[in-house]
Each structure stands twice: as structure tokens, then as C-alpha cells.
């Protein structure tokens, strides 16, 4: 089973990224072959400062490693170290219906927040589909905000299979499944909305101690007085505390919320202590990694090599299936596309037969 996910280096990683994507991704290292990448091509849609992009990319690698990504098990790499993915994005864009992309929530939200409507922003889900399909991925661990992007990926893969695969036994692409955990699918930020790098409501995984305390103390609450009973289910403090605390501790805090007599300020202090302790071993690991200057670079170089191997295999299959010359070689056009009844063209079986999904080759 192949597992893949990506994270944009558009800022510094926060606890929403950690619980929504990084921790599940790290846990999945035990279950299959894992590929995790820094989505720097995607970050270009929002970040236009080259030095910041380089610096954030380095930081994402460092932070992911510090949080438990094991480079002996997982390939960690920069998206842009596998430029073939942009070629696949082009091929996918030739069959991607405009209407499908126009319905993408993430695109509409970004426009609503004032981002310019660039072609890159519009095409974001197509590049993401290419990221997933180029590694024959089975499972994609993400937060809920990415669910629709994975549905779009499945749609595009299905369209390519219909158009160019000799179905049902010889698809060009595997259809990936999202892996979303209900308890951590949307981690709330300081204002109770989804925590995001771009909303300014984030608590960073490796923030400075005073800054982190200040941010926790600034979580928005209602104005219930100290003595009043409080609703834990509607409290951002309680939701965040539940991510870090044990079952017993969660039950205890729930009872104290419901009983009244404790102010939000007190609960925030307890949340800060839990959060700070939770990441203590990871802060230590991060210091160690930082001391070895070439560690992250070596991990990224190895990861990119592995990712390139698979991407090259899959692209050879795709190029042959759609009728492009395969790199370095002969034109595999011995089996010409044949016309289908509806006037479109369909590759004959011989093309797909030569190109099984990469994971099935030895
Ligand atoms: P951001 O919204 O902060 O820019 P990204 O879009 O780079 O974060 O998200 C990287 C991964 O982290 C994705 O899988 C995304 O679903 C997940 N993620 C981001 N924010 C949250 C959140 N608040 N709760 C749960 N998962 C999240
Ligand atoms: N769009 C994702 C995000 O903002 C990042 C991403 C890019 C991704 N390509 C991917 C996630 C492929 C999973 C698989 O969070």
C-alpha cells in the first residue's frame, strides 16, 4: 500500500497541520510505503518571496522530521524536485472540466479572501491530482479541507481511465482514498474558525514559549463569569485541550466546565501547560537535527531520488497511454489510438498492457 501527502511551505507549521495531517502521516509509516512532500509549486500560488519560500521549505522539512517522520521508512522530498509532476498536471488539465474546478471550495474561499484569480490558483487541484496520481498512491492522509481536492483527483483519474485505459482491468491510474480522522479533521484556531497559516489564528508547533502562551491566552471565549457553568462542546479551549490530554483529564475538565467556578483564564493556563509539554520531546529532537547541518538536505536528496524513480515509471505509462513519445526512446505507437463511437479517441489495449501501475512491477 502506498501512502502520500503534501504540505505547503506557505508559512510555519501549526497544531492544525500537526493533528490533521502530520501525526496521521507519521502513524501510517508503519502501514505501508510512505511519500511525503513539501508542496512548493503549490505555495507559489500565494507566496511571492523567494527567500521566504526557500526558508519555509527548509523549516517544513526540519519540523516534520522533528515531529517523527522517519526517513528510513518515509521518502521526504520537495515537490519541485520531481518536475515531471507539472507535465502530468498539463495532461490532466486537458481532460479536466472547467465546471469541476469552478466548484472547488478552496478556490472560491481564496477569491473571497481577496486573492487574485490566477490560472495557477484555479488549476491548483489539477496539480494536486498529479501529485497523487504520479506515485500510484492508495491513501492520502489530510484534514477535511482537502477532501474535495481528493474527490477531484478521483474524477480526473476516472476520466483518464475512461478515455485512455483499457478498462476495467487495465486502468492508467489507481483511484486514491482520503484518510481523514473525524476527531482531528478540523482543528479550531484562536477565533474558533479552522486554524490556518493564512488566517492569523494559528498556534505554531515550534513557537517561542512566551508567544505561544500569549496566543493560548488570547483564545476567544464567550463572556460567562467565573462561577457560571460553561459548555465544553462549544469551547475552543476544551476542543484543543482534548487533543493533548488523556481520557481521564478530558473527563475531569469537562466536569469542571459544566460545574462552574473556574474561569476561562484558568482553563487556558492548563491548556498551555499540556500543549507545551506535549511538544517537548519534539523540540529536543529538533535541536539535535539542527546541529547536524547536512541532515535535512541528505534526507531530501534521498527522498527525491526515490520519488523520481516512481514518477518516471508512471510517466512512461501515461505518455504511452495518451500517445506521446516515451522519454529516451522509441515511439510506442505500435498500437494506434482507435476512434470510439462518440468521436473521441481511446487507446487500444496494447498500450495499457505494457504499462501496469508502478507498484505492480517488481
Ligand atoms: P494551511 O491551511 O494552514 O495553509 P495547509 O493547507 O498547508 O495548511 O494544510 C496542510 C495539511 O494540514 C492539509 O492536509 C490540511 O488538511 C491540514 N490542515 C490544515 N489546517 C488544518 C486544521 N485546522 N485542522 C485539521 N487539518 C488541517
Ligand atoms: N493542497 C494541500 C494543502 O493545502 C497540499 C497538497 C498539495 C497535497 N499536493 C498534495 C496534499 C497532494 C495531499 C496530496 O494542504
Q: Cα–Cα distance between 223 and 235 in angstroms, integer?
A: 12
146: Cβ below 6 Å to ligand 2? yes
Could you tell me the pLDDT band of residue 197, with boundaries at 50, 70 and 90? Answer: confident
Q: Cα–Cα distance between 283 and 277 in angstroms, integer?
A: 10
Report residue 206 CA to chain centroid gap: 19
Measured at the CA of 8, the angle between CA 4 and CA 10, to 5 degrees, comes to 170
Task: Report the pLDDT value the prediction gives residue 276, as an integer from 0 to 100.
Answer: 98
Task: Report the pLDDT value the prediction gives residue 200, as an integer from 0 to 100.
Answer: 92
Q: Which of 41, 33, 25 is nearest to 78 (CA)?
A: 41
> Residue 208 contacts by C-beta under 8 Å, 6 or more apart in sequence?
none
Could you tell me the pLDDT band of residue 328, with boundaries at 50, 70 and 90? Answer: low
Task: Report the pLDDT value the prediction gives residue 167, as an integer from 0 to 100.
Answer: 61
Q: Looking at residues 6-35, what average pLDDT do you find?
A: 97
Could you tell me the pLDDT band of residue 281, with boundaries at 50, 70 and 90? Answer: very high
- Active-site position among 144, 147, 159, 194: 194
Q: Looking at residues 129-143, what average pLDDT do you find?
A: 98
255-279 per-position pLDDT tens digit: 999 999 999 999 999 999 999 999 9
- Active-site position among 174, 197, 268, 274: 197
Confirm whether 197 is a catalytic residue: yes
User: Over 60: is that where the pLDDT of 290 sits?
Assistant: yes
User: Over 80: is that where the pLDDT of 21 sits?
Assistant: yes
DSSP state of 77: E
Task: Report the pLDDT value the prediction gives residue 51, as an integer from 0 to 100.
Answer: 98
Q: Look over the chain and give the mean of its residue pLDDT values, rounded to a whole number.
A: 91
Confirm whether 194 is a catalytic residue: yes
Residue with cell 481511446: 346
Task: Report the pLDDT value the prediction gives residue 358, as an integer from 0 to 100.
Answer: 56
* 8 Å CB contact between 321 and 164: yes
Q: Which ligand is nearest to the CA of 146?
A: 1
Residue with cell 457560571: 228
In order of 20, 93, 149, 160, the CA distances from 146 in angstroms are 10, 19, 5, 21
Query: How far, in Å, is the centroid of ligand 2 from the Cα of 311?
Result: 17
Task: Report the pLDDT value the prediction gives residue 341, as an integer from 0 to 100.
Answer: 39
User: Over 60: is that where the pLDDT of 24 sits?
Assistant: yes
Confirm whether 174 is a catalytic residue: no
Q: Looking at residues 91-110, what average pLDDT do you find?
A: 97
Q: Looking at residues 112-125, what average pLDDT do you find?
A: 96
Determine the angle formed by the axes of helices 209-217 and 264-278, rounding to 10 degrees: 150
Supply φ then ψ for residue 284, to 5 degrees.
-65, -45
CB burial class (10 A; 0-12, 13-18, 19+) of residue 50?
exposed
Q: HSE (CB half, 13 Å, CA atoms) of 135?
A: 30
* 8 Å CB contact between 359 and 136: yes
Determine the angle formed by the axes of helices 236-244 and 247-259, rounding to 10 degrees: 160
In order of 35, 108, 176, the CA distances from 3 in angstroms are 6, 28, 9
Query: How far, in Å, is the centroid of ligand 1 from the Cα of 145?
Result: 7
Q: Which of 243, 318, 312 is nearest to 277 (CA)?
A: 243
17: Cβ below 6 Å to ligand 1? yes
User: Over 70: is that where the pLDDT of 168 sits?
Assistant: no
Could you tell me the pLDDT band of residue 198, with boundaries at 50, 70 and 90? Answer: confident
Instruction: Cell numbers for 229, please give them.
Output: 457553568
10: Cβ below 6 Å to ligand 2? no
Domains in the chain: ranges and CATH: 2-186+293-360 (3.40.50.620), 207-278 (1.10.240.10)
Task: Report the pLDDT value the prediction gives residue 346, as an integer from 0 to 100.
Answer: 39
In order of 80, 125, 345, the CA distances from 93 in angstroms are 19, 10, 17
Task: Report the pLDDT value the prediction gives residue 170, as an integer from 0 to 100.
Answer: 84
187: Cβ below 6 Å to ligand 1? yes
Amino acid at each position: 500500500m502506498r501512502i502520500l501527502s503534501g504540505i505547503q511551505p506557505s508559512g510555519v507549521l501549526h497544531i492544525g497541520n500537526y493533528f490533521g495531517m502530520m501525526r496521521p502521516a507519521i502513524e501510517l509509516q508503519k502501514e505501508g510505503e510512505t511519500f511525503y512532500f513539501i508542496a512548493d509549486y503549490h505555495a507559489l500560488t500565494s507566496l511571492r518571496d523567494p527567500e521566504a519560500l526557500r526558508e519555509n521549505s527548509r523549516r517544513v522539512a526540519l519540523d516534520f522530521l522533528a515531529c517523527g517522520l522517519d526517513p528510513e521508512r518515509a521518502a521526504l522530498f520537495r515537490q519541485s524536485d520531481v518536475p515531471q509532476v507539472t507535465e502530468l498536471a498539463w495532461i490532466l488539465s486537458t481532460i479536466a472540466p472547467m465546471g469541476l474546478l469552478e466548484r472547488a471550495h478552496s478556490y472560491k474561499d481564496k477569491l473571497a479572501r481577496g486573492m487574485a484569480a490566477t490560472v495557477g490558483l484555479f488549476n491548483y487541484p489539477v496539480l494536486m491530482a498529479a501529485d497523487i496520481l504520479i506515485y500510484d498512491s492508495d491513501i492520502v492522509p489530510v484534514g477535511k479541507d482537502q477532501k474535495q481536492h481528493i474527490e477531484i483527483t478521483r474524477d480526473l483519474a476516472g476520466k483518464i481511465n475512461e478515455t485512455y485505459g483499457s478498462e476495467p482491468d487495465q486502468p492508467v491510474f489507481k483511484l486514491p482514498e482520503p484518510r481523514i480522522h473525524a476527531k482531528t479533521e478540523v482543528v479550531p484556531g484562536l477565533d474558533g474558525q479552522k486554524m490556518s497559516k493564512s488566517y492569523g489564528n494559528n498556534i505554531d508547533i515550534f513557537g517561542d514559549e512566551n508567544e505561544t502562551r500569549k496566543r493560548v491566552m488570547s483564545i476567544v471565549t464567550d463572556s460567562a463569569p467565573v462561577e457560571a457553568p460553561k459548555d465544553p462542546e462549544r469551547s475552543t479551549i476544551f476542543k484543543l485541550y482534548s487533543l493533548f490530554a488523556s481520557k481521564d483529564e478530558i473527563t475531569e475538565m469537562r466536569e469542571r466546565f459544566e460545574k462552574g467556578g473556574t474561569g476561562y483564564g484558568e482553563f487556558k493556563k492548563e491548556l498551555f501547560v499540556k500543549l507545551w509539554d506535549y511538544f517537548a520531546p519534539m523540540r529536543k529532537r529538533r535541536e539535535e537535527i539542527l546541529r547536524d547541518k547536512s541532515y535535512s538536505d541528505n534526507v531530501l536528496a534521498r527522498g527525491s531520488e526515490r520519488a523520481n524513480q516512481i514518477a518516471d515509471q508512471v510517466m512512461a505509462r501515461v505518455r504511452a497511454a495518451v500517445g506521446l513519445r516515451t522519454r529516451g526512446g522509441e515511439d510506442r505507437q505500435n498500437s494506434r489510438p482507435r476512434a470510439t463511437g462518440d468521436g473521441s479517441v481511446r487507446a487500444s489495449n496494447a498500450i495499457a498492457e505494457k504499462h501496469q501501475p508502478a507498484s505492480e512491477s517488481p
